[in-house]
């Protein structure tokens, strides 16, 4: 257990809900045995500058509050800084916090921070960019890349789901080329997941992936028809063994991935790359506040 004498908290508070959650987090942290420099950032473009600013004071602990995209986008700044990462899961899926076994309530997550247990974990890498949990090729980045700006804000979840349905109608299976250093494969697929942890979209999908494995996992959902993807997701949500029926996984320290046609890649929900890429693992590269025993499926 590492001694914490100073901490900073940065919360992505771009929405009214985010501002309320920030106040709730500040209240939950009352009574911690060290001072917390708490900052609510309403402009997401200022998040990186805010993290750099708090790191200049050399805190022992940096707490990031937001969804998987927020944490993944900022975790690069913490690598090599001799600082512990704390996580407040304020997103929708919160796959990274699920992987670590962190409760998905603010009070529960703060209790983990209060307990003070730390674990050293792996991060994934897409070329030179660190990520926390999972990258994907297929329908998810197609939706993220094409959704009209402000659609969800104006029409809510119904509008977003309508757009997702429209894009699914246009979506087509694609060809995957994967090389894990010992095996080269070419196959027709409906989705590809590059995983540092088992959760994707809040659902346990990749059994082989772990933040302590020292390997990156590339899982492909094989199929020539997009209904295979619907079947796989439904089986995964329901926890059925049938979710393995059409998947194949490759585990290695480094895996080269390409597609036909070239496709966008969403990294923890944000479209940040395009094929071809090299996916790697950065083993034990960061220390995080988390329960001492990771969760297991089922």
Given a contact cutoff of 8 angstroms between Cβ atoms, the answer to whether 89 and 245 are in contact is no
Whether residue 26 is predicted with pLDDT greater than 60 in this model: the reply is yes
Interval 47-99: pLDDT, tens: 999 999 999 999 999 999 998 889 999 999 999 999 999 999 988 889 999 99
Q: What is the pLDDT of residue 298?
A: 43
CA 156 to CA 4: how far, in whole Å? Answer: 41
Q: What is the mean pLDDT of the chain?
A: 89
Q: What is the pLDDT of residue 153?
A: 59
Cut 0.75: pTM above it = yes
Region of poorest pLDDT, from 31-40, 77-86, 141-150, 261-270: 141-150
The whole-number average pLDDT for the span 94-117 is 93
Interval 90-102: pLDDT, tens: 888 899 999 999 9
Residue 144's pLDDT band, with cuts at 50, 70 and 90, is confident
The whole-number average pLDDT for the span 230-253 is 89
Q: Is 284 helix (H, G, I), strand (E, B) or coil?
A: strand
CA 270 to CA 127: how far, in whole Å? Answer: 16
Residue 297's Cα: distance from chain center in Å? 18
Q: What is the pLDDT of residue 65?
A: 93
Interval 249-293: pLDDT, tens: 999 999 999 999 999 999 988 888 999 999 999 999 999 999 987
Residue 171 burial (CB count, 10 A): 17
Q: Where are any strands of DSSP class E within the chain?
A: 6-12, 35-41, 61-66, 84-89, 118-126, 129-131, 134-137, 174-179, 184-195, 199-200, 203-204, 216-222, 247-252, 254-260, 264-267, 270-274, 277-289
Region of poorest pLDDT, from 10-14, 66-70, 168-172: 168-172
Q: What is the pLDDT of residue 149?
A: 67
Q: What is the pLDDT of residue 71?
A: 93
Whether residue 165 is predicted with pLDDT greater than 80 in this model: the reply is no
Q: What is the pLDDT of residue 228?
A: 87
The residue with tokens 């944000």 is: 270
The percent of residues above 70 in pLDDT, for the chain, comes to: 93
Q: Which domains does the chain have, with CATH numbers?
A: 6-122 (3.40.50.10330), 131-284 (2.60.200.40)
Token duo for residue 100? 């670590």
The whole-number average pLDDT for the span 99-122 is 94
């Amino acid at each position: 257990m590492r001694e914490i004498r100073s901490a900073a908290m940065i919360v992505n508070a771009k929405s009214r809900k985010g501002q309320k959650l920030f106040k709730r987090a500040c209240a939950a942290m009352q009574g911690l045995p060290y001072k917390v420099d708490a900052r609510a950032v309403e402009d997401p473009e200022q998040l990186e500058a805010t993290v750099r600013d708090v790191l200049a004071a050399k805190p022992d602990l940096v707490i990031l509050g937001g969804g998987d995209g927020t944490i993944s986008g900022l975790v690069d700044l913490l690598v090599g800084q001799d600082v512990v990462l704390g996580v407040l899961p304020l997103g929708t899926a919160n796959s990274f916090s699920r992987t670590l076994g962190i409760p998905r309530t603010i009070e529960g997550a703060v209790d983990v921070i209060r307990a003070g247990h730390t674990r050293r974990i792996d991060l994934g890498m897409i070329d030179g960019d660190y990520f926390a949990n999972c990258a994907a090729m297929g329908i998810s980045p197609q939706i993220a890349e094409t959704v009209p700006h402000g659609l969800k804000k104006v029409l809510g979840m119904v509008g977003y789901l309508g757009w997702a349905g429209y894009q699914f109608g246009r979506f087509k299976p694609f060809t995957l080329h994967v090389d894990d250093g010992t095996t080269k494969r070419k196959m027709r697929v409906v989705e590809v997941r590059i995983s540092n942890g088992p959760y994707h979209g809040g659902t346990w999908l990749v059994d082989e992936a772990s933040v302590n494995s020292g390997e990156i996992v590339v899982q492909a959902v094989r199929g020539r028809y997009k209904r295979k993807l619907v079947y796989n997701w439904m089986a995964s949500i329901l926890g059925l063994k049938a979710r393995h029926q059409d998947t194949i996984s490759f585990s290695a320290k480094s895996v080269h991935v390409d597609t036909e046609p070239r496709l966008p890649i969403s990294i923890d929900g944000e479209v940040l790359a395009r094929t071809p890429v090299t996916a790697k693992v950065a083993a034990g590269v960061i220390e995080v506040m988390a329960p001492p025993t990771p969760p297991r499926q089922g």
